[in-house]
Chain A
Amino acid sequence: MSYEEDLEAYRSQLLQSLSSPPSRSVSGVLEPIQVYVNERRVGELEGAGMDATLHVKSLDHIETIQLRTEDGTLLGGLVAPEYGYRTSRIQLSSDAVELCVHNTAQGGSLNAVFVPKPSFWSRMGKTLADVADRLAIRRPDAAIAHSMRTVAFTQALLAVMVVGLVLDRVATWMGSEQMLTSGIQPEALRTVSVTEMGKLEQQLGELARVQEKVGEALDLQVKGMAQLHQTMAKLSSSHESVASRVVMVKEEMEKRQESLEPETDRTTPHPASRGAMVDQEQLEVAISSLTEDNAKLSRELASLEERNQTLTAKLHMASMNASKAVDPNPERLLANQADVARTNQSLQVAETLQNSQTQPFLFWVTFSEGTSQESIDQWVHEKKGRKGSINEGWQEVRIVPPAVPPNLFLEQIRGEKIVKAARISE
């Protein structure tokens, strides 16, 4: 076979397969229909049960929908609009699939419903409804059209009944004419006729009421159907969101498991957290020792103050005694002078200690970039401090001397969010 013949044979074969219409039924058994969205398989439809409908929601726009058999035969399809709805009923021999695609800016959704071949009785009903349909106005919406058909059918039934009654009436008149010829009085005839007319009117009135009731019931049914559709749509979307959340949670759990698996011993804490715990323990020990030292210093200060007061009193006494009389013993005088000198020295020490407690603690600090002046002021206020001069970006801050040693205090300061650096010397 030459190059061209081979190619022509292939082309003819392809054209032949394209010409033959697809059929869904294989050996009389209906197989599930595969549904493809944008040429990706998304699910399948079956003739019965839960799989008779398929709802697909996609983050991407839906471009095409295809229905295929299990052997891959393309049964039907739909090109979706860029935005908005499109519905299509794809006839598959006796069955059908109704597709409704909706594209929005957020993505697309597809509703596919398998509509099986109707039974004999439903076909009968449909035939009757079709007859009635000719008398009614057709509307595009399927649910409304259905109810309109039913109303039209009822109207047709009423018309038949009215025709029957009219015929009955004509027959009565015919009978009355015969009776008239046979010598019955016209007055009696008129009475019968009026009575029957009254009955007829009553029957017509009843029929009209029944028709109204049927109409109301149908309206209610249509509303109920609309609500049901809305509820179904909501349920479907919530089901999807729940399902997607479950998948997300599962994935998250898997990720966590994966990240934990390489660790040989799960009970061993992370080195970083272990280091942090050690640091915290050391800090706690340091703080407790500092607190003890502080308490000891306070006690010493108190005792020194007591002693100072005693000494002041003694000095006062001594000076009084000295002013009253000069001591004849010069050695004792010298001793007293020495005592006074010692007392003065002690007083100076105590004063120095007191000064060191009352003198503000001064340090320099720089703040992180972007820290507002308000935040800085608030921070200084929290420290019960006072701002001083600023030198090359370093802010002078004076505070009440801290309870902890200066270096530790500075470490604490540096750990704060808005503080970039801190130091004592300028």
Chain B
Amino acid sequence: MQNTVSKSQVMADQTVTVSRLEEVVSTSDEFDRVVAQALPVLLDRATGYTKRFLRETGQWNDDIEHEKFALRWGSEYLERFLVCGRSEVPCRPLFLFDSLVAKQHSKPEPFCYHPDLLRPLGRFLDGLVARAVVSRDALIALYRHSYGWGAGEVIAVTGLNGLESQRIYKNFRRWRESGWQRTMDEIGLTKTELAELTSQQQRQRQRFNGEAERLIRVAQAHYRKSEPDHYPCLSRSQWREMFTQGYGCDYRIWHLALCLDCMQTAWGLGSNGSLTEEKPRLELLVRP
């Protein structure tokens, strides 16, 4: 009886919130206030839209992986709405939010969907690469997670100068301190799942890395589209020219982290011969 009353109370509250979201807000502060009170409603709404998109495109299954995937993207849309919506006042927040989600879903391939990327290893890799697109810390950490390199090796491989080198050390530090944990939280990987991944890595190293390489290629191919248009794959001679001339610092950092093939192609160009090992192979590290 009490449970029924509380449920009906929640529904009534939601109705009030939704009706408030439908009204015009005139200032940014008012927008913040109204939206902050309606975060759960908006998250559920965005998640619902994402589920519907996945169903309509034949990508949905009734399991927790798909539910988490929809929640993750719903949260992503809501985050963008929170910061961008303020500039749209006066507006009706609910309609603005709906239009923002609809705009995202009208894009070709709005998110990286692959059934194998919904399993723990796939989620880990997808989350890592997706984060690398929006976070330089995560981007630099990709070198660490993919090849096991430290800051010095990343600097040598990418041929960076002194000023850029300092940033790499900071990127590494921040990633270890907070970035990795935050990313794991965002993709919803539990401690149990992470422990299982580590265990798999130790038990079947070769198989684990083979599977990781297959999946990371899928994710990288999708998220590389977020790079600037002028960052395509290059031939070894083009990479050599870039390294010797010393330009394209961002290009090197961004592209080589997000392209296994180009890493093989450009291997050894930035180190002036100090890296004499074989070309790098993917050796996935779960923890930073």
A322 to B194, CA, bound (A): 138
A247 to B39, CA, bound (A): 46
**Please, which residues of chain B bring their CB within 8 A of the CB of A86?**
87
Q: B262 near A: Cβ within 8 Å?
A: no
Q: A167 near B: Cβ within 8 Å?
A: no
* A77 and B186 contacting across the interface, CB-CB below 8 Å: no
Number of A-B contacts (CB under 8 A): 103
A314 to B138, CA, bound (A): 116
Q: Which residues of A contact B (CB under 8 A)?
A: 1, 3, 6-7, 10-11, 13-15, 17-19, 26, 31, 34, 36, 39-42, 63-64, 66, 68-72, 74-79, 86, 88, 247, 254
* B84 and A41 contacting across the interface, CB-CB below 8 Å: no
> 8 Å CB contacts to A: which residues of B206-226?
226
Of B11-19, B128-136, B146-154, B263-271, the one with at least 4 CB within 8 A of chain A: B128-136
Instruction: Kindly list 5 other residue pairs between chains A and B, CB separation below 8 angstroms, not including A17-B185, A36-B134, A75-B83.
Output: A17-B75, A40-B227, A41-B133, A72-B131, A79-B88
* B186 and A41 contacting across the interface, CB-CB below 8 Å: no
Other-chain contact of A6, B64, B88, B174, B238 (Cβ < 8 Å): B64
A63 to B99, CA, bound (A): 13
* A42 and B228 contacting across the interface, CB-CB below 8 Å: yes
**Please, which residues of chain B bring their CB within 8 A of the CB of A254?**
238
* A19 and B39 contacting across the interface, CB-CB below 8 Å: yes
Given contacts A14-B186, A64-B84, contact A7 B134 (CB under 8 A): no
A247 to B171, CA, bound (A): 30
Q: B43 near A: Cβ within 8 Å?
A: yes
* A18 and B80 contacting across the interface, CB-CB below 8 Å: no
A39 to B186, CA, bound (A): 19
**Please, which residues of chain A bring their CB within 8 A of the CB of B230?**
247
Q: Whole-angstrom distance from the CB of B235 to the nearest CB of chain A?
A: 8
Indicate the member of B36, B67, B178 with the most A CB atoms within 10 Å: B67
Binary interface profile of B, 111-145, with partner A (CB < 8 Å = 1, else 0)? 00000000000000000000101111110000000
* B88 and A10 contacting across the interface, CB-CB below 8 Å: no
Given contacts A10-B71, A77-B84, contact A18 B136 (CB under 8 A): no
Given contacts A71-B179, A77-B87, A86-B87, contact A7 B67 (CB under 8 A): yes
* A76 and B136 contacting across the interface, CB-CB below 8 Å: no
* B64 and A72 contacting across the interface, CB-CB below 8 Å: no
**Please, which residues of chain A bring their CB within 8 A of the CB of B138?**
71-72
Q: Which residue of A lies closest to B230 (CB)?
A: A247
